[in-house]
Amino acid sequence: MSIDSDVNTVVGVEYPLDPLSRDEISRAASILKEGPAAAESFRFISIELREPAKDLLRAGTETVREADAVLIDRAEGRSYEAIVDLDAGIVSTWTQLDAGVHPPFMLDEFAEGEESCRKNPEVIAALAARGITDMGLVCFEPWSVGYFGEDNEGRRLMRALVFVRDEPDDSPYAHPIENFIVIVDLNTGEVVQLQDDEKTPVPAASGNYLPKYVGPARTDLKPISITQPEGPSFTVTGNHVQWANWTFRIGFTPREGLVLHQLRYQDKGVERPVLNRASLSEMVVPYGDTAPVQAKKNAFDSGEYNIGNMANSLTLGCDCTGEIQYFDGITTDSLGRPVTIENAICMHEEDDSILWKHWDFRENTAETR
């Protein structure tokens, strides 16, 4: 594939920085399954574009369409990184990671881990001793074990924090079961440890935010209407966006979610590069409480949970208002099948008030921008 760096167009099917399509994800998974990941025990953590080097793109050099893949072999409990050459149809790099290295959670593991907890006899008996017998109302939430000096023998473990609902659509977070943690081996589905410490009463107060609990929406404010009769000021061609003097490209990865590429500014006829790549590389949420359940709650939302995979479809009038441009996010499930998150990204213009104001007290005049 080659590009023309002057006019920012592609000689070929897609631009080299465009995210992998559904067909490309399927092709990458097939190449891996026909090669080193042929065993049924392999699962896919992620498949995403391997971005070409910046200097190649700037020079307009022909690039190879490649995919980065992260996999785990559940039978061996070992993780792998691979580079797939989609043009040649080969696995160009296959790397086994150290035994103690674990990739992020797969979405499937959320449900699988919860099911392992829900059907475990020891867990059922321990909850019954706390007066909780309706397992359909119990929620087991997967959290990373992290590393706190323990020897986990290289096992892929999940800490399940436990909550209970008052009824099926109740908010479980209002009713935590404190001092109760279930450790699950995600590769085998085995509950390997139950930490059942001091019993404390489950908070009874409802923290539910659904209208049926808190009442109808307020009616004392008059509506605000956001309209652009002539349409938005930006134009979108594929994943390329132009707005005023700015241009950039939209990307999406399972780990980061939204990615901006090649942010440039047109300055007196000269296109100036500002940012080559921008993304949320990590988001750390430390809870910092000394209670047994809370002390280890330090979530790395990108590196441990693949925050891009956790994106949900946005809805006009609910998540976004005005003249909206949507972009889908394409990722993969644990079997290597493409998954499209429709409307994962919305782009729109906002009036964010004034940038600056200067008042000339001598002339009693004011200028704003």
Mean pLDDT of the chain: 91
Confidence of residue 216 (pLDDT cuts 50, 70, 90): confident
The answer to whether 120 and 145 are in contact (CB under 8 A) is: no
Average pLDDT over residues 324-329: 95
Residue with tokens 């892929």: 156
**Under CATH, to which class is 2-96 assigned?**
alpha beta
pLDDT (0 to 100) of residue 352: 84
Average pLDDT over residues 68-80: 96
Cα–Cα distances (Å) from 252 to 216, 261, 331, 338, 340, in that order, read 37, 10, 9, 14, 11
Residues of the chain with CATH 3.10.450.40: 2-96, 107-205
Confidence of residue 224 (pLDDT cuts 50, 70, 90): confident
pLDDT (0 to 100) of residue 78: 94
Average pLDDT over residues 204-217: 88
Q: Does domain 107-205 have CATH number 3.10.450.40?
A: yes
The answer to whether 339 and 331 are in contact (CB under 8 A) is: yes
pLDDT (0 to 100) of residue 124: 98
The answer to whether 181 and 195 are in contact (CB under 8 A) is: yes
Asked whether residue 38 carries a pLDDT value surpassing 70, the answer given is: yes
The answer to whether 48 and 83 are in contact (CB under 8 A) is: no
The encoded tokens of residue 210 equal: 């659904």
The full 3-state SS of 185-223, as one line of letters, equals: ECCCCEEEEEEECCCCCCCCCCCCCCHHHHCCCCCCCCC
The encoded tokens of residue 169 equal: 């659509």
pLDDT (0 to 100) of residue 7: 33
Confidence of residue 9 (pLDDT cuts 50, 70, 90): very low
CA distance 31 to 151: 36
Q: Is the pTM for the entire model greater than 0.85?
A: yes
pLDDT (0 to 100) of residue 1: 43
